[in-house]
């Protein structure tokens, strides 16, 4: 069974070819970072226009890398939402057209399910049930995952997503877009203890997140320094910010595992590529005897392979898309 996975929910155009549910034959990703970098964030109109230019060549490249042609595809899996509507429509319409012309089924999947199942792209895979911490530019959420299609939302951000906070703080410090890797690179040279930033724990047993307070604290620190004519120590601010965000992500994940009496944690989403988070989560999971699954960094950020895998699992469970299906901007997964 050959599945073509297509991902265009935000600013990456990606296509991947999956053989059965185990072998990724090709993954091609076209990043739009250089297009959005001058604006310090994603410009939706530019994103969809770029997807339009890229979608056909990216699918062709994936087929070429897998040494296959369109006629070899058995199933098309595509991101249906959440994301930017204009971006989603490019991949979704393309997938429908392929399905119609090739007379093969297609499945539209929730992007979050792709991140939740991305650990299955690795050789050592988790067993159900597990807790998934999904940390990306669009969301930050904790799920209990009981099967390939069974998710329960345990908590989510009440304001900014963790990745969004990284991007906004980077913009504040003039570090460009995307902010996550830029902050992480700067943080290596800074002392996280030189600046104390708040952690939003919310109510005692709450598994919700809030990152707007730490972002505002960084902004206030920068403004105070500028008023005094003092230079902002970017490296120290980045190190302190990264540690504040990491502390909350780690402790809330451990809390979810304890509340649900589970012993397996899976990370997913672009922020899961962050070295500080990966290291601290590994240490804490070791202390708590938790089995931690960290997908390779390339499988944490948006990619077509996780969409191909997720669509295949949905299809095997009887889900098939229809031509009047539409995209959606918000996820209702697990609610």
Q: Contact positions toward ligand KG4, by CB under 6 A?
A: 10, 136-138, 163, 166-167, 178-181, 184, 269-271, 273-274, 301-302
Crossing angle of helices 234-259 and 212-228, rounded to 10° = 160
Closer Cβ to ligand KG4, 73 or 240, answer by number = 240
Q: CA 197, CA 296: separation in Å to the nearest integer?
A: 30
Spatial CB neighbours of 287, under 8 Å, sequence gap ≥ 6:
none
To the nearest whole angstrom, how small is the minimum distance from the Cβ of residue 101 to ligand KG4? Answer: 29
- Looking at residue 227, what DSSP letter applies? H
Start-end of H helices in 204-268: 212-228, 234-259
Q: Terminus-to-terminus CA distance in the chain, angstroms? A: 32
Closer Cβ to ligand KG4, 98 or 304, answer by number = 304
Q: Among residues 333, 329, 304, which one has the least CA distance to residue 95?
A: 304
To the nearest whole angstrom, how small is the minimum distance from the Cβ of residue 15 to ligand KG4? Answer: 16
Q: CA 83, CA 114: separation in Å to the nearest integer?
A: 13
- Do the beta carbons of residue 302 and residue 269 sit within 8 Å? no
Closer Cβ to ligand KG4, 2 or 172, answer by number = 172
To the nearest whole angstrom, how small is the minimum distance from the Cβ of residue 206 to ligand KG4? Answer: 23
How many other CB atoms are found less than 10 A from the CB of residue 20?
9
Closer Cβ to ligand KG4, 110 or 302, answer by number = 302
Closer Cβ to ligand KG4, 126 or 181, answer by number = 181
- Do the beta carbons of residue 241 and residue 196 sit within 8 Å? no
Tokens of 153: 């939302």
To the nearest whole angstrom, how small is the minimum distance from the Cβ of residue 7 to ligand KG4? Answer: 9
Closer Cβ to ligand KG4, 12 or 233, answer by number = 12
To the nearest whole angstrom, how small is the minimum distance from the Cβ of residue 197 to ligand KG4? Answer: 16
To the nearest whole angstrom, how small is the minimum distance from the Cβ of residue 273 to ligand KG4? Answer: 4
């Amino acid at each position: 069974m050959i599945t073509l996975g297509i991902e265009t929910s935000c600013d990456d155009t990606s296509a991947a070819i999956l053989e059965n549910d185990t072998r990724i034959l090709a993954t091609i990703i076209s990043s739009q970072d250089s297009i959005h970098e001058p604006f310090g964030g994603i410009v939706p109109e530019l994103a969809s226009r770029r997807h339009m230019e890229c979608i056909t060549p990216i699918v062709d490249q994936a087929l070429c890398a897998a040494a296959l042609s369109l006629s070899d595809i058995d199933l098309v899996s595509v991101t249906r939402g959440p994301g930017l509507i204009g971006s989603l429509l490019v991949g979704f319409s393309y997938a429908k057209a392929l399905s119609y012309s090739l007379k093969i089924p297609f499945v539209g999947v929730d992007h979050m399910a792709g991140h939740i199942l991305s650990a299955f792209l690795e050789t050592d895979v988790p067993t159900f049930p597990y807790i998934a911490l999904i940390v990306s530019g669009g969301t930050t959420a904790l799920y209990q995952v009981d099967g390939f299609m069974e998710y329960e939302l345990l908590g989510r951000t009440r304001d900014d997503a963790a990745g969004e906070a990284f991007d906004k703080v980077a913009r504040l410090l003039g570090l460009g877009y995307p902010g996550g890797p830029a902050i992480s690179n700067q943080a290596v040279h800074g002392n996280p203890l030189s600046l104390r930033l708040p952690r939003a724990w919310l109510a005692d047993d709450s598994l919700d997140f809030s990152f707007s307070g730490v972002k505002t604290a960084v902004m206030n620190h920068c403004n105070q320094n500028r008023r005094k004519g003092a230079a902002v120590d970017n490296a120290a601010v980045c190190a302190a910010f990264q540690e504040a965000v990491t502390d909350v992500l780690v402790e809330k994940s451990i809390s979810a595992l304890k509340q649900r009496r589970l012993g397996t944690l899976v990370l997913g989403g672009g922020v899961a590529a962050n070295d500080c988070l990966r290291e601290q989560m590994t240490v804490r999971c070791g202390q708590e005897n938790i089995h931690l699954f960290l997908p390779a960094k390339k499988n944490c950020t948006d990619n077509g392979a996780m969409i191909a895998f997720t669509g295949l699992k949905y299809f095997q469970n009887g889900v098939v898309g229809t031509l009047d299906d539409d995209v959606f901007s918000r996820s209702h997964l697990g609610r």
